[in-house]
Amino acid sequence: MSTSRVIAPLEFRVRPLAVSLTAAGMILVVVTALWSSMTALVSLVGLLVCALLGIVVAHHRQISRSAATLTVLETPFWLARDAVVFDQYRQLANSLLTISEQRDIIFRHVALEQVDELVRRAGVIAQGTFVFEGTETWRLAYEQLLRSPGLHRYRSVAWVQRPHYWQDEPGRKSLALNFVLVESQQVAIERIAIIEDALWPAADVWPVEPIRQWLDEQFVRGIHIQFVRSSRLAQESDLLADIGLYGSRALGIQQLDDQCQTVRFTLIFDVTAVLAAEIRWDRLAVYAESWAKYLDRYELPD
């Protein structure tokens, strides 16, 4: 028996049944129309419609079953529909079988603690949250998202607390990707920079170097830049964050250390979280000023 027939037998039986009933129904309608009254014809059509609706509902319920409703025995068959995920499931199951064969008490204790952590992390991932800690590998996901088909808008909030913010090699490479996408008109990019007052004193027209040059370079290359002093957000402290909005698809949250190195990057695929971040973006935009309009009032230093 093939795997596909074991996984969802009703799903595969419904389609030919629906086709057969539809063909038979058409024949009955034609025969009735030729030899019976209009009342009989209407009754027959009504019965056929009800039958087809019943089949459609049964089909929908079958294919829309959630993972939570599957039994332990059904789970592998359901997963087998996705070859890649099923291979991961098989490897994990094999590892658990090997662990279960060990009789060393300390081994089992340590192993099961590690498995508990793996289960916890898998649960977080299943909810659409990915956490990268102490590594720059998050930038791979960042690039994949920005280059993904259907993404046409990227909004970024840069909380600039140090003069060398995004000045290291990984930061410059990410910015170079921004330029490529904007210049090729693949993605429209908007960035609001929240600048600490120490880097943009109230008495100064422009932020300190290299922050001013960093912002102006982005503006010249086609990124829509806005900026604001952090002190203006004293009553809106929840707006102080490094975030990225990948269209309406995902939210990225970055946490940096004193050396502007990424301590943690959290990527969230959740509509509710994205909508909440969009509201925060709109609130922040009220305080920020456009770099283009600022240039109309003040001349850049040489």
Tell me the pLDDT tens digit for each residue of 140-184.
999 999 999 999 999 999 999 999 999 999 899 999 999 999 999
Name which CATH class applies to 133-297: alpha beta
Cis omega before residue 210 (within 30°)? yes
What is the per-residue pLDDT for 37?
56
Q: What percent of the chain has pLDDT over 70?
A: 77
If one compares 179 and 12, the residue with the highest pLDDT of the two is 179
b/e burial code for range 14-40 (CB count within 10 A of at least 16 → b): beeeeeeeeeebeeeeeebeeeeeeee
3-state SS assignment for residue 158: strand
Instruction: Sheet with 153-160: list strands edge to edge.
Output: 129-133, 262-268, 250-256, 242-246, 153-160, 188-195, 224-229, 289-290
Mean pLDDT throughout 121-147? 92
- Indicate the pLDDT class of residue 261, thresholds 50, 70 and 90: confident
Q: Are 163 and 195 in contact (CB under 8 A)?
A: no
Quick one: DSSP state of residue 72? T
Residue 188 DSSP SS3: strand
Q: In whole angstroms, give the CA distance from residue 20 to residue 27.
A: 11
Average pLDDT, the chain: 84
Mean local confidence (pLDDT), 111-118: 94
- CA 243, 227, 172, 222 torsion: positive or negative? positive
Which single residue is written with the structure tokens 């909030």? 157
Q: How far apart are CA 76 and CA 79, in angstroms?
A: 5
Q: What is the pLDDT of residue 72?
A: 81
Please check whether residue 202 is in contact with residue 265, taking contact to mean a CB–CB distance below 8 angstroms.
Answer: no
